[in-house]
Structure 1
């Protein structure tokens, strides 16, 4: 078997094993080591050690556990409950007010944590029963909860954007700036859809009783001041410090973690048990991310060494593609991969296959990354995997069927696709903020972006030097 055929066999076996349920990170390492040993002998073990050290010693990835810890502390401090209640009171007279409050809460909480499972589960316990009790259609309530919970993939500080930046060698700070407007736009589009649907079909989102809508202004203002304002100030200070170059993502994440602990103490929700749980969950998530990087680096290096990357590049270049059709092809492949795979596998395995082709088709890696972040919203919503729907099903009342949840998320998938189309034809929505703040992609990297290995892996000479 030739080396390129060996590389494609490795890719196919990897897909087969992860569909069987094997852990992703260790499947990547096992495939990389096995096929690397066949292709380069004992040198594969040196490569494994060096890649492991490079990931664990990288300063940029420090922001991952810090942002995760900040999210877990906020989650366990019952801040989300307070936030939802205050936004519910403030939006009482808006059509579909409970759904709008749910989406607004998810959007704001997404800036505090990029953990989709945590947001969907919490809103499934808090907002979903409230919507059902108010007479909302099950499908609409389910779609709002799942789609809102997935906004953390896109809205900064997104863990997914950190991983993409590390994989593609793109500034995380500029990615945050580029994703901010698309993230807010998508959240607003969700809210507009709910409001319009509630106006056209009030039976699917009945208005709240008068006693819940006609709340004195001072009560609404006090609820916002005590719940919305503190969290908003914390998030604004963290993101502002990053976007305006006052701190690196790691430094801002550290201050955000400290702020989250202080906020929990102020709300009298801080306990040593909750702190221990937050630290444990943070360690588990961070270990997964780091070993995922180690496995992906080994896998992609061996895949490139065997010639699999070159074979894919030659095939794509042989197709009659221009920039537009290449983007359609790439995003369509990522969309389809989102059905059986999670976003982590897509980012660390399949995105690097497209990265070397971006220059050939004149596509900006920054713009490409934001489009992927938009596209990956669907990976949590599209059956058969659709992890957000399973998170909700796990906490939903027994009478809520999985089929209803699937039906409920479909309109929001269409909204994501429509938003991607708008972003493609109006790229200034993506590029304006990073250009205004940093002078475009040619600007220096204020974040100290992680040095990634070449997307196609090591050449034979590079591997021999390693």
Structure 2
């Protein structure tokens, strides 16, 4: 019961707006101190804390996080997205729905570049929303397209969410196998999750494009053609090829086994810096801004990771993991029933917590139990990523909606933003159902490449 009170206390404090990292660690340590005084908590759990924290911050896989963040911030500051959008709009703008398709494709590339939902939504909102409204797009369609496209950073590799999920799921998978007396456990890598996310991510993008094309037929006045502009092939290639080449090198080196995600992230960061200097969009002042922005985001991620490590250790010390295991074991529907409950809880938590907190707090608690019940770790990781992506879109609390509301003009009502995301939420739910019915959508490519 103390473990349950610990979890409920943390959720309450987070909803009241207290800092996530310090709430997790502080609340856990306070409960542990009271438990030690009352004789209900084994102090030996806390003696393992220094080694655990050192192992966390020195994890070679997690070095990819600041490097991917650096890569994304550099590409954002160097106006790569702006050039991509201008050139794509020239190619597709003369078609009904062409500007919307351009936004989806550029957003997909930007998601693959930055991997950060907030950065993608804000950037696309500032760049494309005014152009879409000027072209006569229905406000709901324009805002829904931008918001949904921005959340692709959750699933399109190289996604920071997948990096963090891959590290957590790898540890959970090993613990699950040890609990089943498998003493030579298999591992799941971040690269496996990247490969597994490719097909679901591309299916999502294809369905987004199909929705815009369907609107062009059913509601042509909602997605009118913009004024056609001459396409300069040299300018188009100059704006399109460098970021495409960079993303291809980063992903290709991971998928081909030539580099680990950390090594590929380093190549991506250096490549982005070379592109920025080559475009003459990087000077000393802007480089300082890039480094400080990367530092702030990285510190936030690792402080939450440290706080979550303390929380999960104390939660386990109070018997919380055994309690959840017993709860899942007695649940009707077996492993699928337990998975459905976990997905529902994660979806609801996505209204109040960012993906980082959910990945570090919830996943380490539930993943070992679900994996021990026979789930595939890659399938589970992709399901969680798309589930959170859907949660971040869902009114009235979706994070992506707030990001866009912050940069959208006052003439665009909040109700239009809410209405605009509904079709995209339905699309994402359909993809989740398809993954549930056909898990091979996520597992086939990793299994094929590993042979």
TM-score (norm 2): 0.92
Contact 1:100–1:191 (Cα < 8 Å) also in 2 = yes
Which of the residues 255, 260, 283 maps onto 1:248? 260
Question: Which ranges in structure 2 are unaligned for 5 or more consecutive residues?
Answer: 36-40, 171-187
Match status 1:25 vs 2:21: yes
8 Å contact from structure 1 (residues 341, 385) kept in 2? no
The 2-side partners of 1:354 and 1:49 are apart by 24
Work out whether residues 68 and 282 of structure 1, in 8 Å CA contact, stay in contact via their aligned partners in 2.
Answer: yes
| CA 85–384 in structure 1, closer or farther in 2 if over 3 Å, else same | same
Count of residue correspondences: 429
Shift of residue 103, structure 1, vs aligned partner: 0.7
The separation in 2 between residues aligned to 1:52 and 1:168, in whole angstroms, is 17
Q: Does 1:8 align with 2:8?
A: no
Please say if residues 342 and 379 of structure 1, whose CA atoms lie closer than 8 Å, have aligned partners that are also in contact. Answer: no
Q: Is the 8 A contact 2:193 2:378 kept in 1?
A: yes
- On the 8 A contact 1:73/1:274 being kept in 2, the answer is no
Question: Does the 8 Å contact 2:331/2:337 carry over to 1?
Answer: no
Q: Show the 5 A alignment for 1:168-317.
A: 168-169=169-170, 170-209=188-227, 211-212=228-229, 215=230, 219=232, 221-317=233-329
Residue 360 (structure 2) pairs with residue 348 (structure 1): yes
Where do residues 416-431 of structure 1 align in structure 2 (5 Å cutoff)? 416-431=428-443
Q: Deviations over 1:292-329 (max 9, x none)?
A: 11111111111111111211221121122134333332
Deviation at 1:224, TM superposition (A): 2.6
Structure 2 equivalent of residue 336 of structure 1:
348
State the superposition RMSD in angstroms.
1.6
Alpha-carbon separation, structure 2, partners of 1:323 and 1:228? 45
For 2:289 and 2:392, locate their aligned partners in 1 and report how far apart those are by CA, in whole Å.
Answer: 25
Q: CA deviation at 1:109?
A: 1.0
Q: Check the 8 A contact 1:33/1:45 in 2, yes or no.
A: no
Distance 1:346 1:251 in 2: 26
How many angstroms does 1:372 deviate by? Answer: 0.7
Match of 2:107 in 1: 106
Q: What whole-Å deviation, never above 9, does each CA across 1:411-465 have from its counterpart, x for those lacking one? A: 11111100111122222221121112113xxxxxxxxxxxxxxxxxxxxxxxxxx
Report SS of the residue matched to 2:113.
coil
Partner of 2:448: 436
CA–CA distance in structure 1, aligned partners of residues 323 and 56 of structure 2: 28
Dislocated runs of 4+, deviation >4 Å? 41-45
**What CA distance in whole angstroms lies between the structure 2 residues aligned with 1:10 and 1:305?**
11
CA distance in 2, matches of 1:339, 1:82: 33
Write the deviation string for residues 365-422 of structure 1: whole angstroms up to 9, x where unpaired: 1110001111111232123331211111111111112222111111111111001111
Aligned pair partner of 1:38 in 34, 39, 50: 34
Is the 8 Å Cα contact of residues 85 and 102 (structure 2) preserved in structure 1? yes
The TM-score normalised by the length of structure 1 is 0.89
Q: What does the per-residue CA deviation read over 1:74-109, in whole Å, with 9 as the maximum and x for residues that have no partner?
A: 000011110011111122344311111001001011
Match of 2:97 in 1: 96
Judge conservation of contact 1:379–1:386 (CA < 8 Å) in 2. yes
Q: Which runs of 5+ in 1 are unaligned?
A: 440-466
In the alignment, is the contact (CA less than 8 A) between 1:36 and 1:44 conserved in 2? no
> Any idea what SS the aligned residue of 1:377 has?
helix
